[in-house]
Amino acid sequence: MILHAVYREGRDARLPCLVWLHGFLGSLREWDAVSESFIDWPQLRIDLPGHGKSADITASDFHQVDQLLRKTLLSYNILKYWLIGYSLGGRVAMYHACQGENSGLCGLVVEGSHPGLADENARRERQASDHLWGQRLRNEALQDVLHAWYQQPVFQSLNDQQRTALIALRSQNNAASLAAMLEATSLGNQPDLRAALQQIPQPFYYLCGELDEKFRSVAHSLALTPHLITAAGHNAHRDNPVAFSACLLNLLRKPIEDTP
């Protein structure tokens, strides 16, 4: 079994493939506004389990998600690649990068994403919180749950118009599939990847919106200087796709330009 994905050839076959991983509630369409800026690169946009056209695919933990990702990459014969992940997609990308056997991984770009909780009490609290959200997704109207979801502090930079647009877009999802994926990939179930991330040999870049105070702090906890996207909150690539694309293009070109 592989995940649903859309592949696009690049103008330069020598470049590694850009593999785009969306966040919770999203789909591969999440990257529509930015992928056109990267036509030189081959690209693979993936629907994660429980989302988009992978809604019927389930995974019980991060290991299973990673195995699905690896099988999907192999099915497209992708042997050299960058992982670019937002929120949940970033957590999947970081987990993947820390598992070894990644000779094809050229680099890691994470947007507004958490490496994992070190404190056991915090892990249990997050598991309980995500279980409650899962129960709401199963038992309440999806639009009602989304209204509550986008009132969380991490989304405080959204205005009413942006919230309304996101709720309308996310309401197309399958609530039961979302609930299963939310609980399986709860931050409370994710390993704390901080130490492992310090050891990966590939370039590792962290992007976040300048208004996203929580994840600016997370980046610093990883001893990384975040690349800030102006006029953007937690969903920086959606809030300011032009600035996001310009920043990412600069980072992707670094290894090429720095090679003697």
For residue 40, with 0-12 CB atoms within 10 Å meaning exposed, 13-18 middle and 19 or more buried, which class applies? middle
Crossing angle of helices 160-170 and 142-149, rounded to 10°: 140
Would you state the pLDDT for residue 224?
86
Return the H-helix or E-strand segment holding 72: helix 62-75
Is the distance from CB of 95 to CB of 87 less than 8 angstroms? Answer: no
Would you state the pLDDT for residue 257?
45
**pLDDT tens digits, one per residue of 8-64:** 999 998 999 999 999 999 999 999 999 999 999 999 999 999 999 999 999 999 999
Mean pLDDT for the chain?
95
Residue 105 has pLDDT above 50, yes or no: yes
Would you state the pLDDT for residue 221?
86
